[in-house]
Chains A and B, each alone.
Chain A
Amino acid sequence: MSNLQQHNGMFDLEKEISQWLKSFRKQRAFDEGSIQEMEMHLRDHTEDLIGQGLSEKEAFQKATQEFGEINQVAKDEYSNIKRKTTIRSILFRTMLNNYFKTTLRSMMKNPLSSFINVFGLAVAIGACMVTYAFIDFDLGIDRFHENKDEIFLSTYNVNREGKEERYGNAPAPLAAMLKNDLSNIENVTRVHDGNAVVKFGDNVFHESVRYVDPAFLEMFSFPLKWGVASSLHDINSIILSEEMSMKYFGEENPVGKEIKVIIGKDISKVFKISGVARKFPKARIIDFTFLANIENMKVFYPSFDFHDWKKQINATFIQVKNPSDLASIKDQMRKYKDFQNEVESDWPISSFGFVSLHDLHLASDEIKNDISYDASDEGRVGLPVITGFILALACFNYLNIAIVSAAKRLKEIGMRKVIGASKRLIVIQFLAENLLLTFIAGIIGFILAATVFLPWFSGFSDISSEFDLLDPNLWLALFVILLFTGIASGIYPAFYISKFQAVNIFKGSVKFGKKNLATKIFLTAQLILTCVGIGFAVIFAQNSWYQGNREWGYNQREVLYAELQTASDLEKLKAEMVKEAGVIAVAGSRHHLSKRFATTIIHLPDHQYEVQELAVGADYFETIDLELKEGRFFNPNQESDKKSLVVNQTFVNSLSLDQPLGTQVKIDSTQYQIVGVVKDFHFNNFYYELRPMIFTLADENAQLFLTLKVDEKSKVASYKALQAAWIELFPETPFNGGFQEDTWVGFYEDLNTMQRFTRATAVVFVLLASLGLYGLIQLNIKGRIREFSIRKTLGARSRNLANNIVKQYLVIFGIAIVLGIPAAHILNSAMLGMMFADPLPYGYLGAVLSSILLIVVLAAVIATQVRKVTRSNPVEGLKVE
């Protein structure tokens, strides 16, 4: 052939053939296989003709001529395709018949890495479901009310030192005014809460009663199990929640029975139970235990004047037919400002506003003193972030393992190309395989979520008992996540591999996944995510530990307290308790740490300031071990200390007082002088910032809290003595007191929950990270088994082999740690800053711990692999194809 070519120097057969094939491709009727088939035909024919003595040019011309018009052939072929197949049928058949088989085969070929892939994705998808469940639950809070879009909470804004603050409570007369003045308001209800002792037979408990207008049950959707809602018009009726009904009466229908509600020492009233509410949905914040007509407050709290603009009630809700009326309602409410501001000149209201019941829970963070709250903002942000990280880590694990395994399937891909697979088909094949794998992972993830994750999560959150696994939105979300994951993790290897020339693959000149920049970036990304994940877990756990072991700034462990109903009761109990052997000190107070305070406005010459006030007896400080920084505590017998203040350090700091002692401030119109400064202590739990606080000397007639400092060793005995004395003195009233440290039980439980959650998250991260690394390195070593076997035969020891493997990852690993740990820290600070007023101070410990953990993981993975190699017979390794 070569001399023929010389004869016809001008004619280039190869070029002509590829030209000819090009015109075939243009027709788009043929797949690559058919085109190749025709190429072979032309070559066979041309060769035959050359064999018969024709020149290359003549042979080619004759062969193409006999082949006929390409157009016509294409037309026939095209009608063929059209007649018989649709894209769907191609996809469906190929996918099911072909890819399914190849997917399963390649999965079985490397069961470990397949398991890692599928398991990692499954965990991530399970985490997604938990997140979905949580957010679904959270967004559903208080949205089960039919009228949720028509009910609005009235709010007002106050300008405090240049800052607009929104409040969710309301001036007491507002509701009545709204009802009388504005016709486009359909319904109005006030809501106020009060503590009471509820008594039925031998069942006597401290409870909270919610006082409302009868419209409350018309506006809110709290259907009754027994009784009638309209009975609320009768001021002698009371409606119970199901929980309360169970607590006092068990399964029995209590409607018609009488219970006694006792307020304070002297006031009590017998109510007739007229209804029991059906079990409330879990996704709720606004609810009730005992519901009574608000008119009862006139009996219970005679001094509470509903016409006094200075008095506040907890909430006022309105219901409007048409939410667009709100603007005009707000307009007409302007005049109420004057009523309010006339009596409350310290912080004049600047405007009234409304927030719909639908939005109330989410808006609660921005509204002070409102009836709802939002404690889950960090969950709404944090969970998706954590889940996103888990998903990203799983994806990168997957991606990197996919690249390495694809590199092992190059021959298969080459073969596919030779026998006619187009680039598109290979991409489709890989994506289909990927999607199949992700969907398998999805199914496992779903099962994992339903059987492990959700039950576990509902152990400390309310979500899952009502979570509907058949929720179509969940399935849609799941499908989208799976599709996204499948495509995101598969698209790169698919396109990259499909680009290879079959010839080069067979020649062995294609190397994939080693020197390529993109694969390096992916690997680094995986390691960075691993670092972030582990760092996140370590720092978070550290913070929980830190918060759990923080000092409160006063003695929590050796203090008991009791809350009495009158000052004289306090005196009686005090007299009993001083006799107890284990009691070291006693004090009375009006307010009490972690239990009660007052909000007070202090006036300085140039501005005013809102602080928390604790009115205490003179012995309170020593009893509860508050630490004096400078000055002195109160003198019990000094009449002048009635006008003295002890303040906390935060007070001094926020007012930037250089010389706090002796500073004069005004409360109402009385002049006070600062005589002492105490070190900062935590009135509230660690979620809250320290606030400026003042102590005033409490009038003895107003002291209701008894505080006892007891010997740590006989703490329990003292507690029992306290309880016994109470029962002896006040048999009618249930005991109200306890260990001071128990006042934060909820907080520590919360913290404990968080620790459990963090631990689990940490385990998931470390597990995914190690699995990912394991899979990757295992594949890598498997791919280099020949090289290692040769090295071994030449005398390399396991240390050398390990060095060799480590070297490959060292730089990338370094980069990952340098970028990942600070990233984890930033992420953590943001998260923790949302939750805690005072998160864990930054330390190197976290970074060091995370790095060590990472290195341990990597070392363990490499060690197991190297051991495997060293133990194996190099001959076996060399046999591997």
Chain B
Amino acid sequence: MISKNLTAASTKPIILGILKQGNSYGYLIIKKIKELSGGKMEYSDGMLYPVLHRLEKDGLIKSNWTMDGGTRPRKYYEITALGKEELVTEQAQWQQVNAVLNTLWDVKPSTT
């Protein structure tokens, strides 16, 4: 299980990443995250929405309601140009963290 804090921290890049592949709505985004993490991320579905709303307010994503073919109305989210930039920054940051950790873990602990 991935810890709550780490999950929370990674939600933003994950959402931006998913939306970069195509517009989507809340339920589908969650479903996708769950699939990708294989259920390993400690997540409650509801937690996603405040994050989405915050991203929208920050201008990283935008939304509009769509009625597609007789089904129920859905609020589709779309990544904005700003969001794409942000995603690049996030990627760089996560890679740096990853690199630091990798370096640490590749080196054998020195004997004292």
Pairing of A with B: yes
B45 touching A66 by the CB < 8 A rule? yes
B interface residue count range (under 10 / 10 to 19 / 20 to 34 / 35 or more):
20 to 34
Whether a CB of chain A sits under 8 angstroms from the CB of B65 is yes
User: From DSSP, what is the main secondary structure of chain A's interface residues?
Assistant: helix
Shortest C-beta distance, A772 to chain B (Å), equals 38
Distance in angstroms between the alpha carbons of A72 and B27 in the assembled complex: 18
B51 touching A76 by the CB < 8 A rule? yes
A76 touching B50 by the CB < 8 A rule? yes
Chain B residue nearest to A43 in the complex (CB): B72
Chain B residue nearest to A33 in the complex (CB): B75
Whether a CB of chain B sits under 8 angstroms from the CB of A77 is yes
Chain A residue nearest to B51 in the complex (CB): A76
Partner of B45, one of A34, A45, A84: A45
Whether a CB of chain A sits under 8 angstroms from the CB of B88 is no
B45 touching A419 by the CB < 8 A rule? no
Whether a CB of chain A sits under 8 angstroms from the CB of B46 is yes
B74 touching A68 by the CB < 8 A rule? no
Shortest C-beta distance, B63 to chain A (Å), equals 9
Shortest C-beta distance, B44 to chain A (Å), equals 2
Instruction: List A contacts of B47 (CB < 8 A).
Output: 68, 72-73, 76
Whether a CB of chain A sits under 8 angstroms from the CB of B38 is no
| Number of cross-chain contacts by CB at 8 Å | 71
Whether a CB of chain A sits under 8 angstroms from the CB of B73 is yes
- B10-48, CB < 8 A from A: 25-27, 30, 44-47
Instruction: List A contacts of B26 (CB < 8 A).
Output: 37-38, 40-41
Instruction: List B contacts of A77 (CB < 8 A).
Output: 49-50, 53
Distance in angstroms between the alpha carbons of A63 and B30 in the assembled complex: 12
A419 touching B44 by the CB < 8 A rule? no
Instruction: List B contacts of A43 (CB < 8 A).
Output: 72
Chain B residue nearest to A39 in the complex (CB): B72
Whether a CB of chain B sits under 8 angstroms from the CB of A630 is no
B46 touching A70 by the CB < 8 A rule? yes
Instruction: List B contacts of A38 (CB < 8 A).
Output: 26, 46, 49
Instruction: List A contacts of B58 (CB < 8 A).
Output: 84
Whether a CB of chain B sits under 8 angstroms from the CB of A85 is yes
Partner of A73, one of B27, B50, B65, B75: B50
Distance in angstroms between the alpha carbons of A70 and B72 in the assembled complex: 23
Chain B residue nearest to A31 in the complex (CB): B53
Most B Cβ at <10 Å: residue of A43, A44, A45: A44
Partner of B72, one of A40, A45, A69: A40
Distance in angstroms between the alpha carbons of A72 and B72 in the assembled complex: 27
Instruction: List A contacts of B54 (CB < 8 A).
Output: 80, 83-84
Partner of A69, one of B25, B46, B50, B57: B46
B53 touching A419 by the CB < 8 A rule? no
Distance in angstroms between the alpha carbons of A44 and B54 in the assembled complex: 23
Instruction: List A contacts of B49 (CB < 8 A).
Output: 34, 37-38, 41, 73, 77
B73 touching A68 by the CB < 8 A rule? no
Instruction: List A contacts of B73 (CB < 8 A).
Output: 36, 40, 418-419
Shortest C-beta distance, B32 to chain A (Å), equals 13
Distance in angstroms between the alpha carbons of A40 and B52 in the assembled complex: 15
Instruction: List B contacts of A70 (CB < 8 A).
Output: 46
Distance in angstroms between the alpha carbons of A84 and B26 in the assembled complex: 21
Whether a CB of chain B sits under 8 angstroms from the CB of A301 is no
A44 touching B46 by the CB < 8 A rule? no
A73 touching B46 by the CB < 8 A rule? yes
Distance in angstroms between the alpha carbons of A45 and B58 in the assembled complex: 28
Chain A residue nearest to B67 in the complex (CB): A418
Shortest C-beta distance, B2 to chain A (Å), equals 16
B57 touching A85 by the CB < 8 A rule? yes
Assuming the A-B contacts A40-B75, A76-B51, are A45 and B46 also in contact, with contact meaning beta carbons closer than 8 angstroms in the complex?
no
Distance in angstroms between the alpha carbons of A70 and B45 in the assembled complex: 10
Shortest C-beta distance, B96 to chain A (Å), equals 26
Shortest C-beta distance, B67 to chain A (Å), equals 9
Chain A residue nearest to B58 in the complex (CB): A84
| A351-363 Cβ-contact flags toward B at 8 Å (1 or 0) | 0000000000000
Partner of A68, one of B45, B51, B75: B45
Instruction: List A contacts of B74 (CB < 8 A).
Output: 40
Shortest C-beta distance, B58 to chain A (Å), equals 8
Distance in angstroms between the alpha carbons of A44 and B27 in the assembled complex: 7
Shortest C-beta distance, A276 to chain B (Å), equals 72
Instruction: List A contacts of B75 (CB < 8 A).
Output: 33, 36-37, 40
Whether a CB of chain B sits under 8 angstroms from the CB of A822 is no
Distance in angstroms between the alpha carbons of A44 and B31 in the assembled complex: 11
Shortest C-beta distance, A801 to chain B (Å), equals 39
Whether a CB of chain B sits under 8 angstroms from the CB of A379 is no
Shortest C-beta distance, B21 to chain A (Å), equals 19
Chain B residue nearest to A66 in the complex (CB): B45
Partner of A80, one of B44, B45, B50: B50
Shortest C-beta distance, B82 to chain A (Å), equals 15
Whether a CB of chain B sits under 8 angstroms from the CB of A738 is no
Distance in angstroms between the alpha carbons of A68 and B7 in the assembled complex: 15
- A24-72, CB < 8 A from B: 33-34, 36-38, 40-41, 43-45, 63, 66-70, 72
- Given contact pairs A40-B73, A45-B27, A420-B65, a sample of 12 additional A-B residue pairs in the complex whose CB atoms are under 8 Å apart: A33-B75, A34-B53, A36-B75, A43-B72, A67-B45, A73-B49, A76-B50, A79-B50, A80-B50, A84-B54, A84-B58, A419-B73
- A-B CB contact pairs (8 Å), 15 listed: A37-B49, A37-B75, A40-B26, A41-B26, A44-B27, A67-B44, A68-B47, A69-B44, A70-B46, A73-B46, A76-B51, A77-B50, A80-B50, A84-B57, A419-B73
CB-CB nearest 6 A-B residue pairs: A68-B44, A76-B50, A73-B46, A77-B50, A44-B27, A68-B46
